[in-house]
Structure 1
Amino acid sequence: MIHLIFGDSAIGSLKHALSEHNHKIIGFPIDFSIGPIRNVYENSGIKGYFTWLEYSFHTIWGNFEDNQTMFQQSLQKLEDIKHGDQVTIWTCENATEQIGLRIICNLLKEKQVEINVVNTYKAMSDYTKQKEVRIEIRHTGECNAEQLAHFYDFSIFQISDELTRILGQDGEKLLQSISIVRSWKQGEIIDELETRDDSFIMECVRKVHRKRQNTDFLNVTRVIGEVIGLSEQVVSDAWIEYRVRSLIHSGQLAYEGDLQSMRMYKIKDIK
């Protein structure tokens, strides 16, 4: 069995969950919901995506060069999949993993393979159905190894050739997209403006101001945490911090400190 999974945390947990099985795990470390993904399976598209990351995000968020190397290696492993192989794609109810599912189906369209899917959101719902505490997850990285091992045993479903074809067609369209931001809404991938989260970030800044009953400068990490916790979409701290700096540069937020690191500056609403 070959497993395909998205996100650093999820990759590590699945490797631990399946450590006693002789399975291959191919992990994709990038967030497909943000950044340019046009032809991201080709050298030109890969370079475009990681160039955008390096320009937009601070290096504090990770080693982009290592992630690029891992991504290219994963694409090569995907290319090496042979006719007749069994493939399981792990996904969840969010943009990055749903996009990943569709892109993988597109890249495997010429191969005669059995494709299975584990939707960890639905699997977690079934897992906790008879328990006192219900758990709703936003992405597979929130699952621990024990849960993923359970999902492997009980929540894998083979998808039909027709559904694989439809998902692959969606993936082909996504690989031609010129958008920078993509959302998961009502079961569909939606192209968004790069400013999608800006108004919500401003709402959260004002909310924190109200809680503190003052307009002093706020730790940007406090605001980022508020946004991530309340956002309808799964968003990363790197992305929100990038948008905070954009709001500063557009004159909607004031700041004090050094913008080179989110732990070195504070922000406040100008109004």
Structure 2
Amino acid sequence: MIHILFGASASGSLKFVLREMGRDKKEMVMSFWDMFSIGPVWQLHEETGKETRFEWMKKIITDEYDEFPDYKQRFEKAINQINSIPEGVHITIWTSDNAHEQIGMRYVLHLLKGKNIDITLINTTKAYEELFLVKKVKYTPLHTGEIPPEKLHVMYEQDYGKFFTDHDREDLEKEWLSLSESQETLRIWRNGRIQSVPEDYYDEFIINKAKKLHGKKKTNEFMKSARLIGEVLGHLDQYVGDAFLEYRLKKLIEKGIFESEGSLEAMRFYSVRLNR
């Protein structure tokens, strides 16, 4: 069995579960450490598409710890691992209802196209709602990485997988080809579908959260950029990550909507306030 997940925390949790169960020698975990809801996915299954994405991600990933080479290496490693999966194995793809994981799943299915492999899908959103939702508490994890290992363990044991037919796979592979024709750099999950939106889609949301924070202090003084981005993240119903939100905040600084003090090199080094 090979498990494929999208994100460091999700794959780390499942590795922990498999170790606890004593199955870590028999079952392998592969993971994309990327965020497919942001950045170009145009022709990502081709070399030119990968280079286009890498160029864009360079703008998003902070220079502070020289993370970009590591990001690129991990991306290539994940693709090489998936391409080297032999025929005849059983794969379980773990995904939840957000653009990032749903796009990742379609991308992986395209990479596996034509291989004689059994594929099962575990939708962690649906499994969570059926197994753990408490009446009057409306909490659903935004992504698989938010689900603690003990709950992933229950999903694994309860066998929540849906087996993909050839027809299922073909439909999702076609959806990938359609996605890979788009030029947008931001996608959300709405009404059970991946939807492309303009890159500035959340700019107004960021501005409104800043107004709210200024209002609480009743002054227009500078606030830590991490404080503002944390506030935005805490209220978003989509999974886009803090790096993208910081990228948009810097764009708003460029436009003069926010002013900043400190070094823009990394989030912890600067503060912002709305220009009034």
The bucket for the TM-score relative to the shorter chain is: over 0.9
Alignment of 1:155-234 (within 5 A): 155-234=160-239
Q: Give 5+ residue unaligned stretches, structure 1.
A: none
TM-score normalized by structure 2?
A: 0.92
Aligned position for 1:10: 10
Verify the 8 A CA contact 2:61 2:67 in the aligned structure 1: no
Identity score, percent: 35
Q: 1:247 to 1:69 in 2, by over 3 A?
A: same
Q: Aligned letter for 1:91?
A: T
Q: Distance in 1 between matches of 2:133 and 2:218?
A: 42
Rounded to whole Å, the distance in 2 between the matches of 1:77 and 1:219 is 40
Deviation at 1:212, TM superposition (A): 1.3
TM-score (norm 1): 0.93
Superposed structure 1 runs of 4+ greater than 4 Å apart: 129-135
Partner of 1:25, secondary structure, is strand
Q: Which runs of 5+ in 2 are unaligned?
A: none
Which residue in 1 is equivalent to 2:269? 264
Written as runs of structure 1 = structure 2, the 5 A alignment for 1:114-193 is 114-129=118-133, 135-154=139-158, 155-193=160-198
Instruction: Confirm or deny that 1:250 pairs with 2:255.
Output: yes
Instruction: State the Cα distance separating 1:183 from its structure 2 match.
Output: 1.0
Partner SS, residue 189 of structure 2: strand
After TM superposition, give the deviation of residue 175 of structure 1 in Å.
2.1
Q: Which residue of 2 aligns with 1:93?
A: 97
Q: Is the 8 A contact 1:220 1:265 kept in 2?
A: yes
Q: Cα offset for 1:134?
A: 6.4
Describe the shift of the 1:207–1:133 C-alpha distance in structure 2 as closer, same or farther (beyond 3 A): closer
Contact preservation (8 Å) 2:95, 2:121: yes
Change in Cα spacing, 1:131 to 1:16, as seen in structure 2 (3 Å) is farther
Shift of 1:61: 7.3
User: How many angstroms does 1:187 deviate by?
Assistant: 0.9
Q: Aligned partners of 2:251, 2:74: CA distance in 1, in Å?
A: 29
- Matched residue pairs, number? 271
Q: 1:134 and 1:268, CA in 2 relative to 1: closer, same or farther beyond 3 A?
A: closer
